[in-house]
Structure 1
Amino acid sequence: MIDWKTLPLFIASILYILLAVRLMRLRYAQLDDEHTSGHLIGLFVVLATLLADEFFVQNRLLTEGQGYWALLITSLNLVLGPLTYLYASALCKRFSWSKVVLHLSPIMMFFILSICAQKIYPELQQNRLFLTFFSLLFLGSLLPYLMFTFALLKEYLDSIKAHFSNVQRHDVSWFKWWLYLITAMAILVCTSPFMPQLFWLDTHWLLFIFALLLSTKVDFIAPSAIAPLDTQVTVEKEALKGIEKVFTKIDSEVKKQKLYLRNGLTLNELANACVMTTHEVSQAINLIYHSNFYDYMNNLRVEESKRLLLRTPAQQVTTIAYESGFNSKSCFYNIFKQRVGCTPTEYRKKSVLN
Structure 2
Amino acid sequence: MLDKIQFLLSLQILGFCIFGGFTLLLRARDNRAKRILGWSMFLWAFLAAVRISVNLYVDNAKEVFDPDILFSGCLVSASLACYVIEVLRPGYLTLRRILYFISPVFTGGLAFFIYRLSGSEIHVYYTLEDVFIHFNIDMVLRILLLLFTLFYMALPIYLVLKYSKGFTKYLSENVADPEEYDLNWLKKIMFILVILYVFYLILLLTDRPVLYVIDKAVLLIVWYYFFYKALFLKVIHLDHSFEKGWDIPYDEEEDDDQHSILNKRYVEEVNIWFEKEKPYLREDLRLTDLQRVFPISRSYLSQLFNKELGCSFSDYVNRFRVEESKRLLEAEPMTSIQEIAERSGFHSISTFRRAFVKSTGVMPSEYRK
Same-fold call, TM > 0.5? yes
Find 1:262's aligned residue among 279, 282, 285. 282
Q: How many residues align?
A: 339
Determine if contact 1:23/1:37 at 8 Å carries over to the other structure.
Answer: yes
Measure, in 2, the Cα distance between the counterparts of 1:255 and 1:205.
55
Aligned position for 2:244: none
Find 1:98's aligned residue among 96, 99, 103. 96
The one-letter code matched in structure 1 to 2:109 is F
Determine if contact 1:9/1:205 at 8 Å carries over to the other structure.
Answer: no
Aligned position for 2:42: 45
Aligned position for 2:73: 77
Aligned position for 1:109: 107
Other structure's SS at 1:78 match: helix
1:148 aligns with 2:145: no
1:236 aligns with 2:250: no
Which has the higher mean CA deviation after the structures are superposed, 172-181 or 14-23?
172-181
Aligned position for 1:182: 193
Write the mapping of 1:1-354 to structure 2, written as runs, cut at 5 A: 3-4=4-5, 7-26=8-27, 31-33=29-31, 35-51=32-48, 62=58, 71=67, 73-91=69-87, 92=89, 93-118=91-116, 119-124=118-123, 126=125, 128=131, 129=135, 130=139, 134-166=145-177, 170-171=181-182, 175-187=186-198, 204-213=216-225, 220=232, 223-224=235-236, 226=238, 227=240, 230-231=249-250, 233-236=252-255, 238=257, 239-240=259-260, 242-349=262-369
Which has the higher mean CA deviation after the structures are superposed, 164-173 or 207-216?
164-173
The one-letter code matched in structure 1 to 2:249 is D
- Decide whether aligned partners of structure 1 residues 333 and 225 sit closer, same or farther in structure 2, where only a CA change above 3 A counts: closer
The one-letter code matched in structure 2 to 1:96 is T
With normalisation by structure 1, the TM-score equals 0.76
Percent identical among aligned pairs is 19
Runs of 4+, deviation exceeding 6 Å: 189-196
Determine if contact 1:16/1:45 at 8 Å carries over to the other structure.
Answer: yes
Determine if contact 1:135/1:189 at 8 Å carries over to the other structure.
Answer: no
Task: Deviation per CA, 1:269-322: give whole Å up to 9, x if none.
Answer: 232233444333223223333443222212221122123323443433233222
Determine if contact 1:231/1:279 at 8 Å carries over to the other structure.
Answer: yes
What is the RMSD of the two structures over their aligned residues, measured on CA atoms? 4.0
Other structure's SS at 1:263 match: coil
Structure 1: unaligned runs, 5 residues or longer: 350-354
Aligned-pair distance for 1:75? 2.0
Other structure's SS at 1:254 match: helix
- Decide whether aligned partners of structure 1 residues 282 and 64 sit closer, same or farther in structure 2, where only a CA change above 3 A counts: farther
Aligned-pair distance for 1:90? 3.2
Aligned-pair distance for 1:168? 7.6
With normalisation by structure 2, the TM-score equals 0.74
Determine if contact 1:170/1:224 at 8 Å carries over to the other structure.
Answer: yes
Measure, in 1, the Cα distance between the counterparts of 2:83 and 2:184.
14
Measure, in 2, the Cα distance between the counterparts of 1:144 and 1:88.
9
Measure, in 1, the Cα distance between the counterparts of 2:201 and 2:22.
34
Determine if contact 2:34/2:231 at 8 Å carries over to the other structure.
Answer: no
Determine if contact 2:291/2:297 at 8 Å carries over to the other structure.
Answer: yes
Aligned-pair distance for 1:345? 0.5
